Structure 1
C-alpha cells in the first residue's frame, strides 16, 4: 500500500504530486491518457498564461455564497507569487505582459515539461492509460480499480478535472464516484464558452472591437471590452468567454439572457459624421467594420453627412452603440475552456482540500465548484489547491 495516489496528471495533479513527494509521501499518479498534462497544451491558445498579477476571489465564480471566503483562504495559502517562485525554483523562465504571466518560450509545452521534469526527478511513479472504474473506501484507506488492476493507498487526491475539453481526457467521470461516496455535486455546465445568438448572416466572420455587456432579465450584470467574434451562429472572443461565466448558469436557470454590444465605444464616429462632403455610410465605415454597417444601416448609400441634423446623428450613434442579441444557447463542453459546477465547497475543508464526507479523500482543481475567469486564474486555482492538498495529505499520512 502506498501513502498517496493521485488520480489525474493535469496541472492540479502534478502540483499535488510534487508537493506531496517533497513533504515525504510515497506517491503514485494514475493517468487516463498516455502522457501527462495533455490539457495544458491547449491553454492560452498553446501559450499557457499560468497566473495573473491581479489575484483574489472576485475573479472566480461559484454557486456557493461562501465562494469569497473559500477562494481567498486557498490563495492566501499559495498565491500567485508562490506559484511564480516555485516555477523559478524548478528552472522555468517567464515573462509578464500587462499583468499576465507566460513561459518565456511562449509555449505551453514549457510549463508542462517543467512539471513533468520535476515529477521524473523526484522519482514519482506514473501509471498511464489507467481508466478509473471504481473507488472503494476500505478500513485502512482506499482501493482504486480499472477492472483489471487494483491499487491501494492510505490517501487519495482526485485531480480528474471537469467535463471541458473531453478530447484531452476530461470526461467528468469522477462526479459519478463522488456522488456514490455521498458528495453533493452541483450540476456541471460549460464555462468560458461561446454564446449562441441570432444575428444577420452578413456578420459571419466579423471580428470587432467593442464594449460588450451582459443582461440577465433586463439588468446589466457585467461589462467587458475587447474583440467580439461572429462565428457560425455563435458569439465568441475573450469578452464573451468572461461573460459566459454568468450567462450560462442564467440560461440553465431559464432566465432571459442578452448581450448588448456598443460598437461606437472608443471610436471617432462623432467626428466622422460631422465632416462634410462624404456619404454617411463611408463616414460610418471609418469607425466600424463595413459588414456591421451594412447589417444595420439601411438608409440611402449616397446620403451625405451634411444632410443629417443633430437628431439624425444621435439616432445613428444610438443604433450602433446598443445592438442587442438574445442569447438562446451556449457552446458545449467540446469548445468550453472550463466547467461551472462540481463538488459543493461546503463539503471540503478549505484549509486542506480534504473531503468532509470521506476523510482521506482530497479534491483539487476543476472538480470543485469554483471557476476562474480567463487570464491564468484556473491554472492558479489548480496549482494552489494541488499544492495544499499534496502537502496536507503527506502530513496526515505521516501522522497516521
Structure 2
C-alpha cells in the first residue's frame, strides 16, 4: 500500500527541522512501539477524534529484532502464556498486564492484519509464511493505517517534561508531545537500536532501574579448553540447575542443549542464563558466596534410577549402556572423566563419580556472550513504578511504557513478544484515551 511504502522512507535528518507537535510520541518503533502506535490510532478513531501520532526510531531500517526472531521466522507468541514464564517484576503484576491482552487477542489481531498463525509442536506460534518479514510488514502497515508517522533514523537524545507536556530532542529535530510512550527496548542486540538509551531517558525523568541489568536469553561461556567445547555441535535434552553455594536448588530449566566451541547454548541454557547472571552479580555486590550451575544429562531420571542403570547388567561395558541413552561422544567422555574402565564391571567409586557427572555435572561458567548476542534484557524500569491498567508512569504523568524497557523478561518461545503486544496495547489505548486532556500531564 502507498502509505506503508511512504512510511519506510527515512526522515531526512541532514538539515535543521522546525519543532513539530504530536499528541502522542512513541520512542522506539520495534514490536512494542509499532503495536502501541496501531492502538493509539485505533482508539482515537474509535472515539471520533483522530490524533497526531509520531513514532521515532534510531535505526535506518525498522524491525531488526523482529526479523531475526525465531531463526528469521518470528515466533509471534506461544499458545499458552502465564506469568510464570517471565522473570523480573512480581508475578501478580505481570499477570495483570498479560490478562488484558491474551494470546487469543494476539491471534485475532494478526489475522485481521492478514497474518495467519500456525502452532508448532513446541507450542510456538509462527506465521504460516515462515517469514518474519510478514509480521514486520503487517505491523508497519497497521501503524501507518492508524495514522502514525514513522520517523527514522531519528535518535531521541533527551526527554524533558514541563507544563505543556514533553519536549523530545531528536536527531531529526525537536518534537513537542502531549504524551509519550517509551518503547525503546532494553540493551540487547544494540545494533538494532536498543542500546540502553531508553533506560537513560526513564532515569532522567525520575525513574529507578533495577539492579543488576544483565543479558537474558544469552549463550554461556566455558573456560578455554573445557571438555564440553570438544563436543561442539552436539545437541541433546538436558536440565541446567542453578544452586546456592551450599547446594540449595534455586531454579532449573530443561530443554534442548547445544554444546558449542565456546560453551553452551540452546533453549535450556538461554532460559537459565538470566537467573545465573542476576544471582552472580548480586553475590558479587553483596560479597555472598557464588552461585553454581550444574548439568543433568539424563533429565527426568532420579539419581537412584541412574545408579541402577549402571549396575545392570553386570559384565557389560558401561559405555555401551550409556550409548543407549546418550550420544557416543558424550558417553565416552563422561566415562573418561569418571575413570570408568572400558570393559568389565564398574567399580563403586567410579560408578559414584559417573552418577555425579551424569546427573549433576558441575559447570565452570566463565561468562556470557553479552548484550550483542542476547535476545533480551533482564532488568529495567520496575513495574511498581507503573500503573498497570494504563502502563502510565507513577513518577512522571503522561509517560507510558511498553516492552523490554521494563523489568520483565520471558523465556524463549515467543513470550517476550506477547509481553510487547500486551503492554503495547495497554499503553497505546490509554495514551489515546487521555491525550485530549493536556492538563492531565501538568500535575505532579
What is the TM-score with the length of structure 2 in the denominator? 0.82
Deviation at 1:396, TM superposition (A): 0.4
Q: CA deviation at 1:102?
A: 1.2
**Structure 1 unaligned runs (5+)?**
none
C-alpha displacement of 1:370: 1.1
1:186 maps to which residue? 210
The corresponding residue for 1:262 is 296
Q: Does 1:392 align with 2:418?
A: no
CA distance in 2, matches of 1:93, 1:258: 43
Distance verdict in 2 for CA 1:73–1:284, change over 3 Å? closer
- Structure 1 equivalent of residue 281 of structure 2: 252
Q: Does 1:14 align with 2:34?
A: yes
Higher alpha-carbon deviation: 281-290 or 21-30: 281-290
More moved, 14-23 vs 246-255: 246-255
In the alignment, the residues of structure 2 paired with residue 7 and residue 316 of structure 1 have an alpha-carbon distance, to the nearest angstrom, of 54
**Rounded Cα–Cα distance in structure 2 between residues aligned with 1:302 and 1:192:** 39
Question: Higher mean Cα deviation, 157-166 or 101-110?
Answer: 101-110
Partner of 1:203: 231
Secondary structure at 2:422 match in 1: helix
Q: In the superposition, relative to structure 1, how do residues 147 and 15 fare at CA in structure 2: closer, same or farther (>3 Å)?
A: closer
Equivalent position to 1:359, from 376, 397, 415 = 397
The worse-fitting range, judged by mean Cα deviation, of 220-229 and 235-244 is: 220-229
Q: 1:395 to 1:283 in 2, by over 3 A?
A: same
Counterparts of 1:80 and 1:310, CA distance in 2: 52
CA separation in 2, counterparts of 1:300 and 1:76? 53
Contact 1:53 1:100 in 2 (8 A): yes
What pairs up with 1:154-233 in 2 under 5 angstroms?
Answer: 154-187=178-211, 188-198=213-223, 199-200=226-227, 201-217=229-245, 218-233=247-262
Secondary structure of 2:186's aligned partner:
coil
C-alpha distance in structure 2 between counterparts of 1:364 and 1:230, whole Å: 35
How many angstroms does 1:326 deviate by? 3.0
Q: Work out which of the residue numbers 267, 279, 285 in structure 2 matches 1:238.
A: 267
**Structure 2 residue runs without a partner (length 5+):** 1-20, 45-50, 284-288, 439-444
Over residues 328-367 of structure 1, what are the superposed CA-to-partner deviations in whole Å (9 max), with x where a residue is unaligned? 4222101111011111222111111111111111111100
Give the aligned partner of residue 174 of structure 2.
Answer: 150
Superposed, 1:1-400 pairs within 5 Å as 1-24=21-44, 25-62=51-88, 64=89, 67-98=90-121, 99-146=123-170, 149-187=173-211, 188-198=213-223, 199-200=226-227, 201-217=229-245, 218-254=247-283, 256-265=290-299, 274=312, 279-298=317-336, 299=339, 302-304=342-344, 307-308=345-346, 316-400=354-438
Q: Is the 8 A contact 1:216 1:247 kept in 2?
A: no
**For the Cα contact (< 8 Å) 1:202–1:295, is it kept in 2?**
no
Q: Are 1:257 and 1:326, in contact at CA under 8 Å, matched by a contact in 2?
A: no
CA distance in 2, matches of 1:58, 1:26: 38
| 1:30 positional shift | 0.9
Find the aligned partners of 1:96 and 1:175 in 2 and give their Cα distance.
Answer: 34
